[in-house]
């Protein structure tokens, strides 16, 4: 059993800068987010998380990608599709992930132990297109989703080659909404997964009673879902456990929607149920969703709680 996070973490931008940072700022080369990434990574490691994220500190999950993709532009914070979607103009998250991985390396004194490390996270093409407005070029969302999958594949391959993360996660919160063409969403994941030599995970938010059967057929190695702040999904998993086959389950076991520490017995019960359904070797424990909105100390305690339960049953 391993522990991970879904992705986002509370961001604190440093106010007092070192002399070197002040100098960089004078030359316009100071990146305030680097300290935030370092903070997020160290907090996650201190809490005992095995596979950490870079904290997704730079902005919302859609525009951090679409601002780099020709054919898409951001208007008042929303993404608008204005022409054919093409390959990103540059790498998007590679540098942040390399930086985060070096923080992990330093943390462990030079060598990252087996089973620990960083994961790359990409917001999925279906979710990005459903969060955007089509102004021209595309007559339907589905064609845009497939073009965007090809565009994001360039970023995914760059992460795999240059960062060597433990795995890559695609965030597709929209797949539970019932508004999505699941066949096209699945085809988009196939495009992203092609020739990838590390595991591919997919995170989906929300209640899965209508989506689970479809999701179980997606070509991913890890399916990550919420089980703490949701009283339907555990029953769905139990009833359909025969459909999962060789997939691992990212098991959201603390509630990311409440800003207080979860009850330890509730989390323990939930994890025991998950172990009984899928077996501990097939489980990754994590929060239900990103922790961006939680106060930093609460986010840290939530991650500590996950690892306390993980250690109890590992």
**Positions in the binding site for Zn ion (CB under 5 A):** 173, 205, 289
In 62-130, DSSP assigns E strands to 72-75, 78-81, 117-123
The backbone torsions φ and ψ at residue 178, rounded to the nearest 5 degrees and listed phi first, read 80, 0
DSSP letter, residue 4: B
Supply the minimum distance, in Å, between the C-beta of residue 175 and Zn ion: 11
Query: What are the distances in angstroms from CA 229 to CA 233, 288, 300, 304?
Result: 9, 7, 18, 18
Q: Please, which residue, 205 or 237, has the CB nearer to Zn ion?
A: 205
Q: Please, which residue, 51 or 85, has the CB nearer to Zn ion?
A: 51
Q: Please name which of 311, 254, 301, 248 lies closest in space to residue 279, comparing C-alpha atoms.
A: 248
For residues 172 and 181, the answer to whether their CB atoms sit within 8 Å is: no
What b/e sequence results for 195-221 when a residue is b if at least 16 CB atoms lie within 10 Å of its CB, and e otherwise?
Answer: eeeebbbbbbbbbbeebbeebbebebb
Q: Please, which residue, 81 or 129, has the CB nearer to Zn ion?
A: 129
Residue 80 pairs in a beta bridge with: 73, 133
Q: Please, which residue, 79 or 230, has the CB nearer to Zn ion?
A: 230
Supply the minimum distance, in Å, between the C-beta of residue 52 and Zn ion: 17
Supply the minimum distance, in Å, between the C-beta of residue 128 and Zn ion: 15
The Cα–Cα gap between 312 and 310 comes to: 5
Supply the minimum distance, in Å, between the C-beta of residue 179 and Zn ion: 16
9's enclosing H/E stretch is none
Supply the minimum distance, in Å, between the C-beta of residue 173 and Zn ion: 5
Q: Please, which residue, 285 or 289, has the CB nearer to Zn ion?
A: 289
Supply the minimum distance, in Å, between the C-beta of residue 195 and Zn ion: 27
Supply the minimum distance, in Å, between the C-beta of residue 172 and Zn ion: 9
Q: Please, which residue, 291 or 309, has the CB nearer to Zn ion?
A: 291
Q: Interhelix angle for 32-46 vs 94-107, to 10°?
A: 50
The Cα–Cα gap between 6 and 53 comes to: 8
Query: What are the distances in angstroms from CA 281 to CA 3, 135, 161, 285, 303?
Result: 12, 47, 27, 11, 20
Supply the minimum distance, in Å, between the C-beta of residue 296 and Zn ion: 19
Q: Please, which residue, 85 or 267, has the CB nearer to Zn ion?
A: 267
The Cα–Cα gap between 199 and 220 comes to: 8
Q: Please, which residue, 103 or 291, has the CB nearer to Zn ion?
A: 291
């Amino acid at each position: 059993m391993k522990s991970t996070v879904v992705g986002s973490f509370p961001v604190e931008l440093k106010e007092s800068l070192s002399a070197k940072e002040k100098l960089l700022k004078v030359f316009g080369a100071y990146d305030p987010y680097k300290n935030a990434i370092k903070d997020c990574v160290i907090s996650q490691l201190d809490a005992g998380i095995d596979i950490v994220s870079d904290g997704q500190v730079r902005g919302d999950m859609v525009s951090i990608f679409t601002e780099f993709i020709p054919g898409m532009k951001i208007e008042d914070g929303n993404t608008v599709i204005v022409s054919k979607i093409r390959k990103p103009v540059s790498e998007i998250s590679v540098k942040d992930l390399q930086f985060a991985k070096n923080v992990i390396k330093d943390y462990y004194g030079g060598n990252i132990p087996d089973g620990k490390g960083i994961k790359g996270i990409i917001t999925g093409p279906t979710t990005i297109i459903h969060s955007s407005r089509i102004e021209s070029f595309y007559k339907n969302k589905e064609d845009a989703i497939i073009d965007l999958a090809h565009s994001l594949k360039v970023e995914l391959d760059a992460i795999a080659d240059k960062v060597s993360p433990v795995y890559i996660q695609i965030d597709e919160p929209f797949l539970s909404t019932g508004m999505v063409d699941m066949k096209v969403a699945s085809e988009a994941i196939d495009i992203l997964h092609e020739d990838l030599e590390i595991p591919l995970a997919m995170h989906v938010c929300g209640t899965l009673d209508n989506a689970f059967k479809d999701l179980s057929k997606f070509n991913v190695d890890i399916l990550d879902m919420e089980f703490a702040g949701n009283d339907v999904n555990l029953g769905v998993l139990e009833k359909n456990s025969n459909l999962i086959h060789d997939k691992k389950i990212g098991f959201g076991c603390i509630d990311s929607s409440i800003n207080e520490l979860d009850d330890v017995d509730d989390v323990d019960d939930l994890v025991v149920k998950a172990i009984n359904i899928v077996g501990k070797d097939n489980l990754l424990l994590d929060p239900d969703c990103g922790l961006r909105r939680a106060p930093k100390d609460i986010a840290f305690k939530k991650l500590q709680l996950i690892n306390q339960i993980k250690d109890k049953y590992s």
